[in-house]
Amino acid sequence: MATTVNPTIKDKDDLLIEDLGYDDHFHEHHDGDKYQSSFITTYIFSQDHKMIAKQFLITGMFWAIIGALMSLVFRLQLGFPDDSLAWLKPVLGKWIQLNAETGMGTLAPEFYYALVTMHGTIIVFFVLTAGLSGTFSNLLIPLQVGARDMASPLLNMLSYWFFFLAGVVMFASLFLSTGPFAGGWTAYPPLSALPQASSGSGAGMTLWVVSLVFFVVSVLLGGVNYITTVLNLRTKGMSMWRLPLTIWAFFITAIIGLLSFPVLVSGLLLIMFDRGLGTSFYLSEIFIGGQALDHVGGSPILYQHLFWFLGHPEVYIIILPAMGIVSEVLSVHARKPIFGYKAMVFSILAIAFLSFIVWAHHMFMSGVNPFISNFFVVFTLIIAVPSAVKVFNWIATLYGGNIRFNSASLFSIGFVSLFISGGLTGIFLGNSALDIQLHDTYFVVAHFHIVMGVAAFFGMFAGIYHWYPKMFGRFMNETLGRIHFWGTIAGSYAIFWPMHYLGMAGVPRRYYRFDTFDSFSHFTDMNQFITIAAIVVFALQVLFVINFFYSIWYGKKMTVKNPWQATTLEWTTPINVGHGNWEGNIPTVQRWAYDYGKDGHDFISQIEPLKEGEQTAH
């Protein structure tokens, strides 16, 4: 299949690639044919980066639906604590307790905690790490740097299957009779380190750790590949300064992941020793049922250090790919070069560096030395500087642009809005004095859902709408896409904006119900409002999922190779990309990725040679 030259009429890009491209003798090996020989090697154990990207995406979507459904259940509990949840009994079984007299069904409190924990774990790791970075790094790195595939397609395949395995283990834990882990997505000891501490702390926590270790293996295998591919397999002419910002973001994200996830594994290993062998790394002077345990000399704070040394970089692992996608999508649809390309790269680097020295801002209230806190306050606030540079550049890119408002660009603009709103509250939280009031309240919940949760989802949606034609050869429905956007942005603000007020009033996070507290009972209406907004937003995501799957088979067909008139290399590949990405030679790169609106041209592809006397940015 791939060895014969495409008989269809060649367009300008093909001719250029034939002319200037360089011959890596790829198709002479006939591996195109050997490669996708059966259904299993094409769709299941595929080593093709484009198929692996789709696997990550669809698995991520599966988990997003599970995670979101969980949040609906606990939101129902918070918004309508006195209403019966008996109708959920067929799904949740014994976790809905029926009152024999009234028939009223209540959510078991321990399952409420399990839901909150699983929601966080699933969304943070499975959806916004694997589903986002896994999908788009896989899809775009080889296509945009001009490589046939990843450096090691085999490790790439294993990366997906470790993720899958992590998912299977976590999924299994949902069905344990003692329930899944219920001590929060951060898994602080002692709840995580003592199997007898709560019902989810036993088998649930063991499976949680096993799942996360598989997950880390997946991240590391993927990351090694992404880094190597970006550094070693760029096509001729693709200098680092000519890389699209997407690639810069994925590249730095992979480095952060490689440096921080192993530290989480260290922390989890020590937990497993405390649980299994009775050591006391994290445990000291604990009484259960009036009995003193023989664990002495440990420190739960040690775990917090190890966890947040990963945990804070992790939030940037989530947001940087979204930032990269947004930079690219905004530039393409504003028909303007990205404003301040180099500043964008340097701000990614600065954020990445700073993300390793701010972790203790999650621990201001854990009794760490206030003088040490000051150090972390300063670095935390400094992170706002590169963040602001990025925001400024996005707005400047939009300014005066000939903006096409479509689903992809709307979600990118929405991202910028959310990132500003959520970033500003970070500056409040970064002050250790203000944090005395705000820590562990709904203010924090509002902060990180807006700046990370919803914003990263918006980056992901922007990427999906934008690169959907490259993935499936068809477009998603634009009208549904816009309904999805407007509903989701309004709805997300409706959910999370009020939470700031709850938080400032001191409403703590992770509580089962509030109506029984005098000081918080007047928030009943607000909690109901939030819950209703959450249901509406969920419904809109269902719409998105329908649009996504419907369009795979029935969407409008892509008839030209470069529907968005973009400059980057992925749009020089054939409409239905085969293995090896380009049919003949690999294209060579002649200019940077953002020649939009230049010298009277709407856009100039990266493979187009410089004209005589033409100046290039890089």
> Which positions touch ligand HEM (CB under 6 A)?
186, 315, 318-319, 361-362, 380, 383-384, 387, 423, 426-427, 429-430, 435, 438-439, 444, 447-448, 451-452
Binding-site partner at residue 387 among ligand HEM, other proteins, Cu ion, none, CB < 5 to 8 Å by type: ligand HEM
**CA nearest 147: which of 44, 36, 52, 26?**
26
Which amino acid, one-letter code, is at 298? G
DSSP β-ladder status, 105-107 and 291-292: unpaired
- Choice between 401 and 459, CB closer to ligand HEM: 459
Angle at alpha carbon of residue 601, lines to 332 and 481, rounded to 5°: 25
Q: Could you say which residues in the range 554-613 bind other proteins, by CB under 8 A? A: 580
The residue count for binding Cu ion (CB under 5 A) is: 1
Q: Enumerate the β-bridge partners of residue 288.
A: 291
Q: Which residues pair with 474 in a beta bridge?
A: 557
Integer CA distances (angstroms), 405 to 244, 413, 468, in order: 22, 10, 17
Task: Kindly tell me the sign of the dihedral angle through the C-alpha atoms of 406, 407, 412, 414.
Answer: positive
Do the Cβ atoms of 75 and 537 come closer than 8 Å?
no
The rounded distance, in Å, linking the Cα atoms of 112 and 77 is: 8
Does 232 contact other proteins by CB under 8 A?
Answer: yes
What CA–CA distance (Å, rounded) separates 82 from 315? 35
Query: Helix H segments across 402-452?
Result: 407-429, 432-438, 442-448
Shortest distance, CB of residue 259 to ligand HEM, whole angstroms?
17
Work out what residue 279 binds among Cu ion, other proteins, ligand HEM, none; the CB cut-off runs from 5 to 8 Å by kind. other proteins
Taking the C-alpha atoms of residue 416 and residue 322, their distance in angstroms, rounded to an integer, is 10
Contact region with other proteins (CB under 8 A), list: 92-100, 133-141, 223-231, 244-252 = 223-231
Task: Show the site string, 138-177: x = touches other proteins by CB under 8 A, - = not.
Answer: ---------xxxxxxxxx----------------------
Tokens of 500: 């700031």
In angstroms, what is the minimal distance from the CB of 257 to other proteins? 9
CA 128/CA 325 separation, integer angstroms:
14
Residue 128 interaction partner, one of Cu ion, other proteins, ligand HEM, none, beta carbon < 5-8 Å per kind: none
Longest Cα separation, the chain = 87
Helix (H, G, I), strand (E, B) or coil at 292: strand
- Among 114, 203, 220, 489, indicate the residue that binds other proteins (CB under 8 A): 220
Stretch that binds Cu ion, among 81-89, 291-299, 311-319, 608-616 (CB under 5 A): 311-319
Partner from ligand HEM, other proteins, Cu ion, none binding residue 269, C-beta < 5-8 Å depending on class: other proteins
Shortest spacing between CB 148 and other proteins, in angstroms: 4
Nearer to Cu ion, 63 or 364 (CB): 364
Minimum Å gap between C-beta 304 and Cu ion is 12
Q: Could you list the residues that contact other proteins (CB under 8 A)?
A: 24-26, 29, 31, 34-35, 47, 147-155, 220, 223-225, 227-229, 231-233, 236, 258-263, 265-267, 269-270, 273, 277-281, 297-299, 302, 305-306, 309, 580
Q: Could you list the residues that contact Cu ion (CB under 5 A)?
A: 312
